[in-house]
Amino acid sequence: AIALRASARTKGLLFGAAVNYNNLSSDQAYANLVAQQCGILVPANELKWQALRPSPTQFNFTRADWMAQFARRNGMLFRGHTLVWHNGLPNWFAKTVNKQNAEKFLREHISRVAGHYAGQMHSWDVVNEAIEPRVQRADKLRNTPWLRFLGPDYIDLAFRMAAEADPRAILMYNDFGVEHDTPQAETKRNAILRLLERLKSRGTPIQALGVQGHLFGHPNGVKFTQIGRFLRNIADMGLEIMITELDVNDQQLPRDPAIRDRAVAKIYADFLEVVLDQPAVTAVITWGISDRYTWLASTKPRKDGAGLRPLPFDAQLKPKPAWQSLTSAIAQA
């Protein structure tokens, strides 16, 4: 079978995955699969503040650098996740960062981190998950330390700082919760459109939107009819689009693994059919690649205790129906 990185490439697309240093560096068979399938590599955690900054004055790039080297050795592009997020912060953050010094911390972080990889990063998630549809504010900006300390302009500021530190990387806003046909997703899609329009109108250097693609199965089935128009609106603004964290939460799907794998594969296929119809979409990146290692196992375990099967390869590293969905969708793109 042809690897996803190769089939994607023939269509001018990128396929890749986000993985953890621990798994990649200790599991040779897994590392081989990642190298074989992925044309772009994303450290799932190693570029977060928590991982890079043991103290307010220290930066530790050891693990992220190892992953950058793994990508280079295997002819893969390397993608940065993430410079500004309300999560993944070190414990010292809350005790140290305040209204008075927040801009200094943000500037130092972005210039040190984006500067460290300048010229080597394909793209950066400059700001991650800044919108929360349930807040009262009209702009739906999430209540984060950055918003409290710097106001809504923290987003513009971060993009300007990133462009200064690495003028070559594609600078992205990345978020989840826009994929399914739900009222809350519609609120989020509208808030993201308004945010991106505001950034563009001010000349803020942003080039792409990351749609995470954390999908979930539901016993009654799920639909992706509304996201097509959203992606068109994004493309009309002149922005590129990448699917950045694709997986399917199968927590609520039937226990039988064969039935479950088919249901998960159908969700991959239905989503990718809509998404890859949009020419502005340039990359499909999964959050993990094998069911052997998935963030869902600890955060969204099944009630029946059966292992989760959200990714294109099973825990034995064998391709699943979801892999076939990816291959077919890419072939038809």
* Distance from C-alpha of 230 to C-alpha of 243, rounded to nearest angstrom: 14
Answer yes or no: 245 catalytic: yes
The CB-of-315 to ligand G3I minimum distance in angstroms stands at 17
Closer of 204 and 249 to ligand G3I (Cβ): 249
- 292 touching ligand G3I, by CB under 6 A: no
Residues 239 and 207: beta-carbon distance below 8 Å: yes
> Which member of 132, 179, 245, 314 binds ligand G3I (CB under 6 A)?
245
SS3 279: coil
Closest residue by Cα to residue 43 from 51, 33, 53, 55? 51
CA dihedral 324, 271, 237, 158 (to 10 degrees): -80
> Which member of 59, 61, 86, 88 binds ligand G3I (CB under 6 A)?
88
The first and second tokens of residue 212, run together, are 């995470």
> Which member of 8, 15, 48, 67 binds ligand G3I (CB under 6 A)?
48
> Which member of 7, 37, 204, 212 binds ligand G3I (CB under 6 A)?
212
- 55 touching ligand G3I, by CB under 6 A: no
- 45 touching ligand G3I, by CB under 6 A: yes
Q: Which of 132, 240, 245, 273 is catalytic?
A: 245
- 295 touching ligand G3I, by CB under 6 A: yes
Region from 41-49, 257-265, 266-274, 323-331 binding ligand G3I, contact rule CB under 6 A: 41-49
Report 126-155 residues binding ligand G3I (CB under 6 A): 128
Number of residues that bind ligand G3I (CB under 6 A): 9
* Distance from C-alpha of 246 to C-alpha of 311, rounded to nearest angstrom: 8
Q: Strands 208-211 and 214-216: what pairing?
A: unpaired
Write the burial class of residue 262 (CB in 10 Å: 0-12 exposed, 13-18 middle, 19+ buried).
Answer: middle
Region from 40-48, 131-139, 231-239, 249-257 binding ligand G3I, contact rule CB under 6 A: 40-48
Q: Which residues contact 245 (CB under 8 A, 6 or more apart)?
A: 18, 176, 210, 212, 213, 214, 285, 286, 287
Point out the residue whose Cβ comes nearest to ligand G3I: 295
- 173 touching ligand G3I, by CB under 6 A: no
Residues 177 and 123: beta-carbon distance below 8 Å: no
**Which residues form the interface with ligand G3I (CB under 6 A)?**
44-45, 48, 87-88, 128, 212, 245, 295
Task: Report the catalytic residues.
Answer: 245
